[in-house]
Amino acid sequence: MNRPQELHLPKGYRYATVYARIRKAKKDDVALIVSDTPATAAAVFTTNRVKAAPVLLAQANLRKSKGKVSAILVNAGNANCATQTGDAVAQETCAAVATALGVPAEQILPASTGVIGVEMNPALITKSVPKLKNALKTGTFMQVAQAILTTDLVYKVACAEVALNGGVVRIAGMTKGSGMIQPRMATTLGFIMTDAALPAPLLKTLTGAANEASYDRITVDGDTSTNDTLAVLANGASGVKVTKDDEAIFGEALSRVAQDLAIQIARDGEGARKLITIQVSGAADDAAAAAIARSIANSPLVKTAIAGSDANWGRIICAAGYAGVEFDPRKVDIALQDTVVCEKGLAAHFDEPALKKALDSTECTIDFVIAGRGQGRARFWTCDFTEGYIRINGSYRT
């Protein structure tokens, strides 16, 4: 997967960002992604009972517009969640953008990220709309990818070109997120654009599958946010339709882009120095494998051990043990960086200093293999747990 500047971006999309003083740091905090023609859209949202106003409006708009999106309006610095005026703010800002673009208000998909519970002044955005519209002439995909960041240290983009029967189509995505990350069927914010043409039901199916293999397989801290949104737009500007024959190849490319983005979130977890890839196999089914992987990925003891390059596999088998799924500990092999540290549930002989050195890498792998007839497999990504996470999250909001 290469960075988008080396590839062609999907046709028919324009981008814009402005600094609207929503966040204190002078860094663009409002962004617009516009599709020249209404795009077919699919989206998954947070499963948190507490849903931010933009999530609720995005869901309502998608229903009203029958899945058509002309623009994504996103701001960083304020989650517009748990506030008195949240719904009105989301509606008013979407309406202002819709008027400026000359499209129906329900074709605007809003998204917000930032602090929860602080009133957001809609005028900061509505007054910026003319400037935002003007910026569409020169704005870039990369500017938007940077404007949506909060505690992220790096921007996160991924793209693909896919040769279908009818011709080449392009997929490009961006995402953000570093803390409050355990999306569970959605993510913090992820936007994927393609210029392929495909019917809404198919896009929905492929988006769900892509999400399950990507955003639903990462955690930073086990905290599922109130604002998670993953939206996929398909505007057909390539003139290429995804045919029945192309579904698999297009779906796979979409999943790869989503997975690339999700892994970038895990790698950039708050305070993280290491990306941890967890592979579980031999579970009763994929869901059981994913539950074990998630339990390992969320264990602070596993994550601090990896931070300290400590081959403390006892914490790994312990975390698997409380995942809530059946397995026989006596059939478990565990490998770290491909070094077997646990065989049949017991300590294996290994070169501890050498493994410690191998674990100093910025990429660590945990393989958890249950011997037997189980076919369940899952891959999961998380990061190590360091003092940096505490520092970032223990500081006073103001």
The single-letter code of the amino acid at 195 is: D
Helix, strand, coil shares of the chain, percent, nearest 5, are: 35, 30, 35
Interatomic CA distance for residues 157 and 10, integer angstroms: 13
187 is a catalytic site residue: yes
Nearer to a copy of itself, 138 or 362 (CB): 362
* Active-site position among 17, 187, 188, 194: 187
Least separation in angstroms between CB 317 and a copy of itself: 5
Burial 60-87 (b: 16+ CB within 10 A, else e): ebbeebebbbbbbbbbbbbbbbebeebe
Is residue 82 a contact point for a copy of itself (CB under 8 A)?
yes
Least separation in angstroms between CB 316 and a copy of itself: 9
Phi, psi of 368 (to 5 degrees): -120, 105
User: For the window 127-156, what string marks contact with a copy of itself as x by the rule CB under 8 A?
Assistant: ------------------------------
Interface with a copy of itself in residues 320-379 (CB under 8 A): 320-323, 325-327, 329, 342, 345-347, 352, 356
Strand extents, DSSP E, 117-228: 156-164, 167-176, 189-194
User: For the window 4-43, what string marks contact with a copy of itself as x by the rule CB under 8 A?
Assistant: ----------------------------------------
Cβ atoms of 185 and 44 within 8 Å: the answer is yes
Is residue 60 a contact point for a copy of itself (CB under 8 A)?
no
Is residue 161 a contact point for a copy of itself (CB under 8 A)?
no
| Residue from 181, 177, 261 nearest 224 by CA | 181
Interatomic CA distance for residues 293 and 316, integer angstroms: 10
Interface with a copy of itself in residues 276-315 (CB under 8 A): 298-301, 304-305, 307-310, 312-315
The single-letter code of the amino acid at 250 is: F
- Which residues contact a copy of itself (rule: CB under 8 A)? 47-51, 79, 81-84, 115-119, 179-180, 184, 221-226, 298-301, 304-305, 307-310, 312-315, 317-323, 325-327, 329, 342, 345-347, 352, 356, 385-387, 389-391, 393-398
